[in-house]
Amino acid sequence: MKHLLALMVFCATPALADSNLPPARWANEQLPNPRQEAEAKALMEELRCLVCQGQSIADSNAELAGDMRAMVRQRIAAGERPEQVRFWLIERYGNWVSYRPPVEPMTWPLWAAPIILLLAGAWQFRNRLTRRRR
């Protein structure tokens, strides 16, 4: 009985979690204007998918990511700047939705870390040199 149950679990088809609608028009179709498409693509790579967190909407196959790509392309085709689209999403989902953290007191350590590490490395290097010379 136990084996049968296990077998049934493995043979079960996963519940449908996708809609019956095809992807939105601009989800997977490039904009005719190459400059706008490049802007849209660059922004999509920096926006985080809300469903499969950890992927960008450019990488994700989730339907919501497709709808977000369509939205990004439509807004940029309508003349919006990529930063305006990013800001519109941050207003709704917080900084979480963008892979490019803003410069604000909360993130100063993040932006300062490379500089501090470089300085620490330089200091160490200098110490090594002076010690060897001794």
Partner 1 sequence: MGLPVNRALRFLPLLILVAFVGAVAWRLSTPANEKITSKMIGQPVPAFALAPATPVKPGLASTQLTSGQPRILNVFASWCVPCIAEAPLLGELRRRGVPIDAIAVRDRPEDVAAFLSRYGDPFDHIGADPESRAQLALGSSGVPETFIVDGRGVIRYQHMGPIEPGDLPGLIGQWEAAK
Q: How far is the CB of 3 from partner 1 (least distance, A)?
A: 27
* Among 64, 112, 113, 122, interactor with partner 1 by CB under 8 A: 64
Site string for partner 1, 84-123 (x = CB under 8 A): -----xxxxxx-xx--------------------------
68 forms part of the interface with partner 1 (CB under 8 A): yes
Give the interface size with partner 1 as a residue count (CB under 8 A): 25
Q: 80, exposed or middle or buried, with CB in 10 Å at 0-12, 13-18, 19+?
A: middle
The CA distances from residue 8 to 2, 15, 16, 62, 130, in Å, are: 10, 14, 18, 28, 71
Q: What are phi and psi of 98, to 5 degrees?
A: -110, 135
- Helix (H, G, I), strand (E, B), or coil: what is residue 101? coil
Site string for partner 1, 32-61 (x = CB under 8 A): ------------------xx-x--------
Placement of tokens 């790579």 in the chain: 45
Q: For binding to partner 1 (CB under 8 A), which residues are involved?
A: 15-21, 24, 50-51, 53, 63-64, 67-68, 70-71, 89-94, 96-97
